[in-house]
Amino acid sequence: MKLYKITTVFFTVLFSLTLLVSCDYEDVNQDPTRPGGESVPLVAIVPAMQTQTHRNIGAVLGRYGGIIMQQWQGFDAQQLQYTSYVIGENDTNNPWDFGLYTGSMRDAADIIDRATQTDAPNTRGLAKIYMAINLGIATNIWGDVPYSEAFLGDANLTPKYDDQEELYGVLQNLLSEAITDLQADDPSGIQGDLIGGSTDEWIATAHALKARFYIQQTSVKSDAAQLALAEAQMALDSNGDQLDFIWENSQNGGHPLALFGFQRPNTMIIGEYFADLMMGDPRMDLYMVPDDGNNFLYFRSSNPNLFWAQLNSPSPVISYSELKFIEAEALERTGGDASEALFEAIRANMQYLGISTGNINAYIDAIGDVDIETIIVEKYKAMYGQAPIQVWNDYRRTGFPDITPNPNGENGLNPSGIVPRRLLYPISERQANPDAYQAAIDAQGGHLLDDDIWVFPSN
């Protein structure tokens, strides 16, 4: 009967194994490797918002700005096609989706909500500044963009595009609210700030950004220069007040321009126009090195002098130099004397880059009459590497510097062949938010590269 017993045991074991199973799954379907929203503190989200924002400034959108403005040019592959204005609906998808709206702007909106719930006004103020910077980039590039109905998840799956004029009001409001929030008493202070700025420094930066957004409206708002000037006076006083996001000297934490140099070697080089313009400039060696042929490179892995092409290069939130250029332009436009502000702008930039005082003075002494063109061309030189989108903005509202469009720049995306005035809305919007997308295109009369956006009319 031994056999029978073995089978009984075996049978019992197997059967009980089967019965151990139950249909109550409890937490089987909860991912143990990722936290849920409730356990994530503000201090953990702020670094994400900041890093993505500074990446947006210097990565693909910055490269489009710099290529269109001929600070850079493609040497082969995609960058070459962008140089002849083949920038389509696919080329804007990634920065729109993951850089801005489901990137830094998502994080900023999330922080604003959470900081409101947990009563953390200083941190909310920081998030509003960052929201303004990113929304500013979005509207500079695409004109009308979603904001008032955005970030609501499936509560609103088809956010409308807000009129750009309204968005410029939103930008000023965000920054004004940010200033109020930063002035509020908050025992926890600004949480998670990778830059480590004080509330006063952030308030000054908020004013500088307000000045930037006002000066962008010179073509469409008569008191733009006046308003910019007033804000500039409440903003930064020196390079020492400037808040810089410093990238890490590692591939994982590196500056996007250096990463591009490493990871897409020799596909983008210094633009011919810019190289010619910078001949003899004391900043030239800090911006570019000659290659074996007739070209200049913005990146060389072994060259530590290239200021904007190091893994740990900085990314200013807004530079003191830019603020002084804005002030100079505002003065010039309001009948004041712009030269002191302009010289301070150039000096600030050169000092920041480490140019000797003698060279700075010699350079400034050589500047003749100051007019809008001088200011914008000097700004074009100074903003290299740190604010390529601002350089494109300035061109679109002033026409300076007076670059020549690429002779092969006429294509289906840019039928008139001019220097692009905007970028196309991404294909993701065409396919996932089609009605709002079409309404925005209709409202603006098109979205091809040669269609104007409201704030930068071409005439």
Partner 1 sequence: MKAKFSSILTLLLAFVVQITLAQEQTISGTVTDEDGLPLPGVNVLIKGTSTGTQTDFDGNYSIEAEMGDILSFSFVGLETTEVTVGSSNRIDVTMAADAAQLEEVVVTALGVTATPRSVTYAVEGVTAEEIENTGETNLVNSLSSKAAGVNVVSSSGSVGASSNIRIRGNTSINRSNSPLFIVDGVPIDNSSSGNGVGSVDQSNRAIDINQNDIASIDILKGTAAQTLYGLRAANGVVIITTKKGQTGAPTVSVSSTLQFSEVNQLPDLQSEYAQGRPVGGVPTYRGPETFEGFSWGPRIDALEYDGDTSYPYNRFGRLVPEGQGDGTPARAFDQKDFFVTGVLNEQNVSVRGGSEKVKYYISGGKLNQTGVAPTEEFNRRSFRADVTASLREDFEVSASGNYVTSGGRRVQRGSNVSGIMLGLLRTTPTFDNGNGLSGRDAADEPSTYQLPDGRQRSYRAGVYDNPYWTVAKNPSTDDVKRFIGRLSFEYKPFDWGTLKGSYGYDQYSDVRKQGIDINSASNPQGQVFDLSIFNEDINTQLLMLFDKNISDNITFNGIVGYDGFRTETLFRDVLGLGMTIPGFYNLSNTATQNPSESLSRRHLDAFLSEAKFGINETLFLNAAFRNDWSSTLPENDNNFQSYSFGASFVFSELFDSSFMDYGKLRGSYGKTGNDAPIYSTLTYYNAATSGGDGFIDSNQFPIFSTVAFERSAQQGNPGIRPEVTREFEVGAEFRFWNSRLKLDVTYYDKETEDQIIAVDQPAVTGFTSRVVNAGVISNKGWEALLGIKPIDTPGFSWDIDANFSAYDNVVEELAENVESITLAGFTSTSSRVLPGESYGAIFGSRYARNENGDVLIGDNGFPLVDPQDGVIGDPIPDFTVGVRNTFSFGNFSVSALIDVREGGDVWCGTCGILDYFGTSQTTAEQREITDFVFDGVNANTGQPNTQQVALADPAGGLGANRWIRYGFGGVSEDYIYDSSWFRLREASLTYRLPSSITENSFLSSGSFTASARNLFLVTDYPGIDPETNLTGSSNGIGLDYFNQPNTKSYALTVKLNF
59 near partner 1, rule: CB under 8 A: yes
Cα→Cα distances 174→112, 156, 299, Å: 11, 22, 36
Query: Cα separation of 330 and 290, whole Å?
Result: 37
- Among residues 340 and 410, whose Cβ is nearest to partner 1? 410
For 189, list phi and psi in degrees, rounded to 5.
Answer: 65, -160
| Binding region for partner 1 (CB under 8 A) out of 180-188, 329-337, 367-375, 434-442 | 434-442
Q: What is the largest CA-CA distance in the chain?
A: 114
Interaction residues for partner 1, span 173-212 (CB under 8 A): 192, 194
93 near partner 1, rule: CB under 8 A: yes
Residue from the set 201, 332, 429, 450 that interacts with partner 1 by CB under 8 A: 429
Residue from the set 57, 100, 120, 167 that interacts with partner 1 by CB under 8 A: 100
Least CB distance from residue 354 to partner 1, whole Å? 24
Query: Cα separation of 417 and 449, whole Å?
Result: 9
CB 330 within 8 A of CB 222: no
Query: Cα separation of 417 and 82, whole Å?
Result: 13
118 near partner 1, rule: CB under 8 A: no
151 near partner 1, rule: CB under 8 A: yes
89 near partner 1, rule: CB under 8 A: yes
Query: Cα separation of 350 and 383, whole Å?
Result: 11
410 near partner 1, rule: CB under 8 A: yes
| Binding region for partner 1 (CB under 8 A) out of 145-153, 222-230, 345-353, 358-366 | 145-153
428 near partner 1, rule: CB under 8 A: yes
Least CB distance from residue 15 to partner 1, whole Å? 7
Residues whose CB falls within 8 Å of the CB of residue 243, separated by 6 or more in sequence, listed in order: 195, 197, 201, 202, 205, 316, 317
Query: Cα separation of 417 and 429, whole Å?
Result: 25
- Among residues 65 and 256, whose Cβ is nearest to partner 1? 256
Residues whose CB falls within 8 Å of the CB of residue 174, separated by 6 or more in sequence, listed in order: 128, 129, 131, 132, 135
Total residues contacting partner 1 by CB under 8 A comes to 117
Residue from the set 367, 432, 443, 457 that interacts with partner 1 by CB under 8 A: 432
Interaction residues for partner 1, span 283-322 (CB under 8 A): 291-293, 301
Interaction residues for partner 1, span 260-279 (CB under 8 A): 260, 262-267
- Among residues 74 and 125, whose Cβ is nearest to partner 1? 74
